[in-house]
Amino acid sequence: MSWFSPRITTLPVALAVMLAGALAVAQSVTVQVAVGAVGTELQLHRQALDQFMADNPDIRVELLETPSGGTDRLGLYLQFFEARSADVDVLQIDVIWPGILEEHLVDLLQYGADAVVGEFFPGSIANNMLDGRLVAIPYQIGAGMLYYRTDLLEQYGFDGPPATWTELESMATVVMEGERAAGNPDMWGFVWQGNAYEGLTCNALEWFASSGAGEIIESDRTITVFNDAAIEVLEMAARWVGTISPVGVTGFVEDDARNLFQAGNAVFMRNWPYAYNLGQAEDSVIRGLFDVTVLPSGAPGEPNAATLGGQSFGVSAYSQHPEAAAKVALYLASLPVQTLRAVEGSFSGTIAALYDDPEVLERNPFFAGLQGIFASAVPRPSTVTGTDYGAVSRAYYTAVHDALTGRQDAETALALLELELESITGFPTGQP
């Protein structure tokens, strides 16, 4: 018998074929990315990931659309994490969640982020660093801003946007009543985010912080929600509902306010930067007729306030493909993708170089002033309350919502809120 025996040669060939098949399967992994869908967000994620898949044929990426309200999204994530589910690999994480979700996220510094973190705003990185671990890579930073109709303000004889909330109230009333009398019964003065969710925490914090009414819980751990300025400012906002703002504003999230403003039916809007690009789109009826500026303050000369927002991508500690997942997360936060999102969607990114890009500035002239606004933006008390932040924010927006809808008067709502925050956190109460 020769050494060339068919019995010994066929076996390795068969094995090789089997192994090759197994390798091919092992090489092609699917990464599930949980994202939001505000404005053009979903479409831009999809566009970026198509490019990623073309460059990385071994990684397939699928998008999992999650509830648009941040509060519901957090609830969904906690369900995934409690079940240690491997069904989601990359997650869009709000700026206030790193402390809540920390234990369920991998350290991205172990997966290549160490090479790029130096390009990012140090504050955005610091926000996501917990015990020396980078639990998510920041790709968006935002601040609450005032959108206003330049044409209407000019038509009604106003020199520029309002400096105080009182001025906003009176300007909104004049323009709204004038426009209604002129034949637009759908015109409103001011739209914002008044639904009972995280977005209302952001809006109300701006009213409070710009009026000397405190920042809910101060960085020294004092609960400061119950004071005369807070009662007054909450009474003011409750008065807007049904006068300058539609009654339905107490059910509005970001895109509800944007849709109304973009349809030409509001003089003022509070929103994040993303609403700019859509309003200036070719088919928009308000194209060229609005601008964006800082929010008003409580009294002349007092500092105005913008709540700090932002989004990051984190990788689940229960992912079966953390390497591939981290590659996707880092790509979605990279400068080319931040540039795409800024040019096409007015999403303000977390890499300083973005704000020097001529195309980005041409499409979003207001980006030139954004870095200063971000630097002085008011953070929500998520660092100081840690894992209790979810309960703290829920208590706050529920109390504010009760006052807005008239379930309770502002003073009672805030007195009860103070007690609730004491019992959640154990912190002392005081004046701002």
Phi/psi for 130 (5° steps) reads: -130, 125
Closest to ligand GLC by CB, 191 vs 229, is: 191
**Residue whose C-beta lies closest to ligand GLC:** 309
Q: What is the DSSP string of 203-268?
A: HHHHHHHTTTS--SB-TTS-B---SHHHHHHHHHHHHHBTTTB-GGGGG--HHHHHHHHHTT-EEE
| CB half-sphere exposure, 287, CA atoms < 13 A | 8
Which is nearer to ligand GLC, 89 or 255 (by Cβ)? 255
User: What letters, b where the CB count within 10 A reaches 16 and e where it falls short, cover 13-41?
Assistant: eeeeeeeeeeeeeeeebebbbbbbebbbb
Answer for which of 161, 296, 298, 310 binds ligand GLC (CB under 6 A) is: 310
The single residue among 102, 169, 179, 198 that binds ligand GLC, judged by CB under 6 A, is 198
**What is the total residue count of the chain?**
432
- Report how far apart, in Å, the C-alpha atoms of 302 and of each of 41, 60, 103 are: 35, 52, 40
275 binds ligand GLC (CB under 6 A): no
What CA–CA distance (Å, rounded) separates 200 from 417? 15
d(CA 266, CA 186): 9
Q: Does 142 bind ligand GLC (CB under 6 A)?
A: yes
Q: Which is nearer to ligand GLC, 45 or 327 (CB)?
A: 45
Q: Name residues contacting ligand GLC, limited to 76-95 (CB under 6 A).
A: 94-95
Determine, following the binding rule CB under 6 A, whether residue 41 of this chain makes contact with ligand GLC: no
Nearer to ligand GLC, 199 or 322 (CB): 199
Min. distance of Cβ 26 from ligand GLC in angstroms? Answer: 37
Interface residue with ligand GLC, options 39, 70, 138, 390 (CB under 6 A)? 70
Binding segment (CB under 6 A) for ligand GLC, from list 195-203, 227-235, 342-350, 354-362: 195-203
User: Using alpha carbons only, what angle is made at residue 154 by residues 272 and 295, rounded to the nearest 5 degrees?
Assistant: 25
Q: Is 351 in the site for ligand GLC (CB under 6 A)?
A: no
Nearer to ligand GLC, 309 or 322 (CB): 309
Closest to ligand GLC by CB, 310 or 314: 310
Q: Which residues bind ligand GLC (CB under 6 A)?
A: 70, 94-95, 142, 198-199, 202, 272, 309-311
